[in-house]
Structure 1
Amino acid sequence: MPLAVLLVGLTGSGKTTVAQFLAGHGFVRLSVDEEVHRRHGRYGVDYPEHTYFERERPAVEAIRERFVKELRAGVDVVLDHGLWRRTDRDAWRQAAREAGGHPVVVHLPAGRDELLRRLAERNRREDANALTVTPEALDDFFARFDVPAEDEEVIVHTGDHDALLAALAAVGRGQG
């Protein structure tokens, strides 16, 4: 049964770094931000910031279709997308199960000061994963974030990628 790793964390928490690491270990990486960038260009440059969510919706659906296709083919996937809301995580978990996959939530917790430090660096970049985030926007993100609950089969990622890989391997072996 293929694994469906659902990364959960606020902007700047390290989801893309973890997803890229897992891609280097055989997972197919699916990135909503990169799909939006591929379709529409740079956030706030090639299209107005306030139109992001209407542009994101079709990208999420395209990624979901590929997510299901890869899992049905028996391929491990990692979803590089924030999944801030429990309802969104529930929907992706259900999609994974229906496609024959085993969903695993990986939470990347990070405090406000650390996120602000990371975002200050990232805000200077212009790639698909560098959406500019202000401190005020980050506060809004925290207010809208549902911290994963214990019943979500959560692995808390502490920054040790090898430990994460070992934890995922253990989940994979325990699938029955």
Structure 2
Amino acid sequence: MPLAVLLAGLTGSGKTTVAQALATRGFTRLSVDEEVHRLHGRYGVDYPEHTYFERERPVVEAIRQRFIKELAAGNDVVLDHGLWRRSERDAWRQAASEAGGHPLVVYLPADREELLRRLAERNQREDANALIVTPEALTDFFVRFDPPADDEDVIVYRGEMEALVADLRQARQG
């Protein structure tokens, strides 16, 4: 049964880094931000920030279709997308299960100070994964983020890729 790794974490928590590392281990990496960037340019630069969600919506649906197709073909997939709301995580879990995959949520917790440090560095870049995030926006992000609840089956990522790979291997074996 192919694995469907669903990354959950705020902007700057390390989702793309983890997804890229899993891609080097054979996972198909699907990135919503990179596809939005490819189609529309840079957030807040090439289009107004307030239009992001209308641009993102069709991309998420296209990524969902590819996600289902990859899992149905027996490929391990990692979704490089924040999944801030429990309802989003539940919907992606269901899609993975219905496609014959084994969904696993990997939560990347990070405190505000660490996120501000990472975002200050990242805000200097101009690539698809460098959305400009202000401290005020980060405060709003924390308000809108639902950390995984106790009844959600999650793997908590603590910065150790080999530990995560071992957890994924164990999950695959049941």
Give your verdict on TM over 0.5.
yes
| Residue-pair matches, total | 174
- The separation in 2 between residues aligned to 1:147 and 1:122, in whole angstroms, is 23
- 1:112-160 deviation per Cα after TM superposition (whole angstroms, max 9, x unaligned): 0000000000000000000000001101110111110232210000000
Aligned to 1:67: 67
TM-score (norm 1): 0.98
Runs of 4+ in structure 1 off by over 2 angstroms are none
Aligned to 2:43: 43
CA displacement at 1:49 relative to structure 2: 1.1
Aligned to 2:53: 53
- The separation in 1 between residues aligned to 2:147 and 2:167, in whole angstroms, is 20
Aligned to 1:151: 151
- The AA in structure 1 aligned to 2:146 is D
- 1:47-102 deviation per Cα after TM superposition (whole angstroms, max 9, x unaligned): 11111010000110010000000000000000000000000000000000000001
Aligned to 2:31: 31
CA displacement at 1:43 relative to structure 2: 1.0
- The AA in structure 1 aligned to 2:71 is L
Please give the secondary structure, in 2, of the residue aligned with 1:17: helix
- The AA in structure 1 aligned to 2:35 is E
Please give the secondary structure, in 2, of the residue aligned with 1:7: strand
The reply on whether 1:108 has 2:113 as its aligned counterpart is: no
The reply on whether 1:99 has 2:99 as its aligned counterpart is: yes
- The AA in structure 2 aligned to 1:171 is A
Please give the secondary structure, in 2, of the residue aligned with 1:150: coil
Please give the secondary structure, in 1, of the residue aligned with 2:151: helix
- The separation in 1 between residues aligned to 2:51 and 2:31, in whole angstroms, is 19
- The AA in structure 2 aligned to 1:155 is I
- The separation in 1 between residues aligned to 2:2 and 2:153, in whole angstroms, is 16
Identity %: 79
- The separation in 2 between residues aligned to 1:139 and 1:21, in whole angstroms, is 28
TM-score (norm 2): 0.99
Consecutive unaligned residues of structure 1, counting only runs of 5 or more, are: none
Please give the secondary structure, in 2, of the residue aligned with 1:141: helix
